[in-house]
A and B are shown apart, each in its own frame.
Chain A
Amino acid sequence: MIDRDQVVHVARLARLELTEAELDKMAGELSGILDHVERMNELDLDGVEPTTHVVQLENVLRADDPRPSWPREKILEPAPDPDEGAFRVPSPQA
């Protein structure tokens, strides 16, 4: 179960604006999914190692050769509001 207040809290963490109608719908849907997910609680998992990665990984090393990075104009091209060679954003203070 996840209630309305929790949905409000999580939406803020996720940086998602939700409308009144979406809030209630989301609470219901997430609760339904979590009910199913909680079937995992039937399993005895004491002492089982968590899997974070399925393939045996080795550290990958390479020579530290200098090379050109992407040209600034190319990276700024898809930006919604590029200005003076930078990404412009609304004020974090206002």
Chain B
Amino acid sequence: MSDVLELTVAQAIERMSAGELGSDEYFDAYAEAAAGDELGAYLWKAEPGSSDGATGELNGAPIAVKDIFCTEGIETTAGSRILEGYRPPYSATAVRRLREAGAQLLGKTNMDEFAMGSSNENSGYGPVRNPWDTERVPGGSSGGSAAVVAARLAPWAIGTDTGGSIRQPASLCGVVGLKPTYGAISRYGMVAFASSLDQCGPLTRDVTDAAILLRAMEGRDPCDSTSVGIEGGVELPSRPDLKGLRFGVPRELSSEAEGIEGGVRDVFERMVGLIRDLGAEVDECELPHSAHGISAYYVLAPAEASANLARYDGVRYGLRAGTSSEVEGGLADGIAPAESELVSMYERTRAAGFGPEVRRRIMLGTYALSSGYYDAYYARAQRVRTKIAEDFATAFERFDYLVTPTSPTVAFELGARAENPLAMYMADYCTVPMPLAGLPAISIPAGLAQPDGGGPELPVGLQLVSPAFGESGLLDAAHAIEGAIGFDARPPTGAGG
């Protein structure tokens, strides 16, 4: 049985097609592994024996789905207490398309509340632990999805990425994570955080599985007018080397990246050598405005979130707080009571249902959009966004792909950044510029390194970036590098570990 858990999904499908593995047997192996989750990674799990023997291209393969995707009749919370018990009347398009391709829902994974966070500590349902060291974070916000794939509690998973929420946890957990081009996959039924940035994508054991998932999910959807799909579709990767390709190394996001650890730098330098050995030309380049990515992002994303999260008002779904209850600690001095019972209900519901980080971002976004501050913050951040996109366009005149470390650090300890929001935001330093420019990027496990100051050896991710809708080539290049790395380390915690 444990042998089954070591297969990539492509390998498992091959065995199932050859009649060497039953689809129910495959599903149950994971349903049983998931039942033993000690990482806090699952919020809902399918029962062993509940496989309905789905067929199709994916042959009934089980999949873990971030709890931000609506699943018809199955609780969907987006990691928030304000949505506790919410059962959506419909499924997200991405989930529906996976189902149509023959995948079966294995579980819903824990996440930072409304995808706001880089450590999974902002979940309303408790943190997720990193299977490489359970005293450390798995990254976020798709921390549950990354952890279950790494710990062999799921063969693959989907998550969402707004500023790094697929790639950063993939890096910290030692799995593959792909953020597709904005518009590649429908956002319909994906609980909205920052609508101009949010994108769904796969977290997998290898690059081929990521390509299979992308192929199953991409495409235009009448329910999301920003979805366009990937013209020409997605090809499965096959490239053995990188001959004839040009790779750029942006200084600002590698050697000069803020807070980059020594161990991460060493692994990254080894990767640059390996890419050269595979036949590519490699040269340094500049993305001069990328250092302002965090600033622009933490205006734009909270601003969009403050509007999107206005819908949680205790009227149509989720939590409703009473109108007459006393606030713990008492109302602040100088605050007049709400103008009506209705407004009081809104204010109390949102105070009770949202966690501290979500409240902070709603406040930040509301401030940035408020009268008198709009031009100084929001309009300015939108112009920085333009400059960041132009930097990438200039770099792609010279290079086919850009490479950077995915995260400046390996997984940090639980609680290490919980009291310092800005330190937490810096975890996305290397991943934030790509969604601002709408570009696809993938993180693949590159090796292990110790954190600064010593500690256990932990995964380090390599990030590759391509021009918009260049996913087939990006996956192909990542596949060649993945083959040369031969990453075969296993986390000590997890199924069979």
Chain A interface (Cβ < 8 Å from any Cβ of B): 2, 6-23, 26, 29-30, 32-34, 36-41, 43, 45, 48-55, 57, 60, 62, 70, 74-75, 77-81, 87, 89-94
Find chain B residues with CB under 8 A from A18 CB. Answer: 332, 335, 351
Supply 11 A–B pairs (Cβ within 8 Å), ascending by A. Answer: A7-B363, A16-B363, A22-B359, A26-B363, A36-B295, A37-B377, A38-B295, A39-B295, A54-B468, A55-B226, A78-B318
User: Within 8 Å CB of B452, what residues of A?
Assistant: none
| Chain A residues with CB below 8 A from B320, complex form | 80-81
Q: Check if A75 sits within 8 Å of B89, measured CB to CB.
A: yes
Q: How far is the CB of A18 from chain B (nearest CB, A)?
A: 6
Q: Once the chains bind, are A30 and B330 in contact (CB under 8 Å)?
A: no
A53 to chain B, nearest CB (A): 6
CA distance A54 to B350 in the complex (A): 31
Q: What is the distance, in angstroms, from A6's C-beta to the closest C-beta of chain B?
A: 7
| Nearest CB in chain A: distance from B48 CB, A | 29
Task: Mark interface residues in B295-308 (1 if CB within 8 Å of A CB, else 0).
Answer: 11011000000100
Q: Are A16 and B329 in contact (CB under 8 A)?
A: no
Residues of B within 8 A of A40 (CB): 292, 295-296, 380-381, 384
A89:B333 contact, CB within 8 angstroms: no
**Residue total for B at the interface (Cβ-Cβ under 8 A):** 79
Q: How far is the CA of A74 from the CA of B381 in the complex (A)?
A: 41
What's the least CB distance linking A69 to chain B, in Å?
11
Which 7 A-B pairs give the minimum distances between C-beta atoms? A54-B438, A50-B382, A80-B320, A90-B341, A19-B329, A17-B351, A17-B347
Other A-B pairs beyond A19-B331, A20-B332, 6, CB < 8 Å = A40-B296, A45-B387, A54-B182, A78-B89, A91-B341, A94-B341
- Contact residues in A for B340 (Cβ distance below 8 Å): 90-94
Which residue of the partner chain A has the closest CB to B310? A15
Asked if B17 CB lies within 8 Å of chain A CBs, one says no
A88 nearest CB neighbor, chain B only: B315
Contacts known (A2-B367, A10-B367); A37 close to B295, Cβ less than 8 A: yes
Q: B residues 304-330 with Cβ under 8 Å of A?
A: 306, 310, 313-320, 323, 327-330
Q: Does B63 contact A (CB under 8 A)?
A: no
A79 near B316 with CB under 8 A, answer yes
> A87 to B316, Cβ gap below 8 A?
yes
Smallest CB-CB separation from B386: which chain A residue? A51
